Amino acid sequence: MITTGDIEDAARRLAPVIRATPTARSGSLSAACGRPVLCKPEHLQRTGSFKIRGAYNRISRLAEERPSAAVVAASAGNHAQGVALAARLSGLAATIFMPANASLPKLSATRSYGADVVTIAGSVEDCIAEARAFATENEAVYVPPFDDPLVIAGQGTIGLEIAAEAPRADVVVVPVGGGGLIAGVATAIHDRLGSARVIGVEASGATAMLEATRAGAPVLLDSVTTMADGIAVRRVSELTLAHVTAYVDEIVTVDEEEISRAMLFLLERSKWVVEPAGAVGVAALLAGKVPGTGSAVAVISGGNVDALLLTRLVGHGLAAAGRYLTLRIVLPDRPGALAALTAAVAELDLNVLAVDHHRSGTHLDLDEVEVLLTLETRDPEHRDAIVNILADQGFRASILT
């Protein structure tokens, strides 16, 4: 178990390296959540996430002890970039094993920090196995993403900063993957803001920490399924679980729609590009899953999202927020039927984004046609009202999910 003293040592070491990310109140989030909400914007940190903190705290100490050492790590993105930059700043060589299907921007960024990147046709677990074998064969030092006291202490510096920047916080909401971030933050908050609660947030398709707390020991999940790849971990460690058991009040989960809505909210209202894993704390607050009405701090842990993925996620978020819908409408196959439909849509003051017209289908009679309309809407209530209004006018309309 790390101590606040360990975190303070890490803070002194990190002071000349990390970028300041002051905790600040968000008016739009506060209004949407009905409580004061502040954000700790670690997506604005060097390398685009909090990972540089733990990586540098670990690797810079290694460089002092063994100036010729080499480091090795395995990651799909954020940890890779943190280790790569920390190694460069410390004057050490770094080899990073990454999945071959990792996003090109993350691969490119890791290489740009000076690391030798080795891609593996497999999962992150396969990369970890290769990295550990490489470390043994080459006498390199493996730097884990969360199962290391120095890494946890580095991440815990976020907790010290929150305590200084938001001393009246009632609750601190932290994303949870392997547990290194919340282990460090919760240790600091417990010591500095003893009355504040710490809530961890996992994706509902990757609940390794929640299952571990229920079982009292780390549990290996059969699989994880979530867009939040930064917290898609199948098993936490005994070390991170011990800190969570001691200092974390509750673990809650958010689903994919809630994550999408949070990302879209942060993009539109805060002008922040945040990755899915980084948005889960905000998602929990927006979904009303963080109990209480007092001041809440959401740790936004990262912003490294691929542009192509972001395009899909924005579309998913718009649909989840009720901002557009696709309708399937069955019309009689006769002149004027489509014109009548478009006229009805125009009267509802709807913007048409796409139209698909089909004369054949498995659920159509010979004298029927199918029209797929994608429409821009204001919110879920507006979306649902449209279907009812069209039905009242005699149209056979149904929502396509």
Catalytic residue IDs = 51, 301
Residue 229 CB burial class (10 angstroms; 0-12, 13-18, ≥19): buried
Q: Note the Cα 340 to chain centre separation in Å.
A: 44
Q: Taking a C-beta distance cutoff of 8 angstroms, is the pair 79, 164 a contact?
A: no
- Let me know how many helices (H) and strands (E) the chain has, helices first: 15, 14
Total residues belonging to the chain: 401
CA distance 302 to 73: 19
- Please state the φ and ψ torsions of residue 249, each to the nearest 5 degrees: -80, -35
Opening angle at CA 15, ends 13 and 20, nearest 5: 145
CA distance 241 to 205: 19
Q: Which residues contact 324 (CB under 8 A, 6 or more apart)?
A: 318, 353, 374, 375, 376, 377
Q: Which helix (H) or strand (E) covers residue 329, if one does? A: strand 324-332
CA distance 262 to 3: 33
3-class DSSP assignment, residue 78: helix
CA distance 252 to 250: 6
- Please state the φ and ψ torsions of residue 11, each to the nearest 5 degrees: -60, -40
Torsion, CA 26, CA 30, CA 35, CA 37, rounded to 10: -20
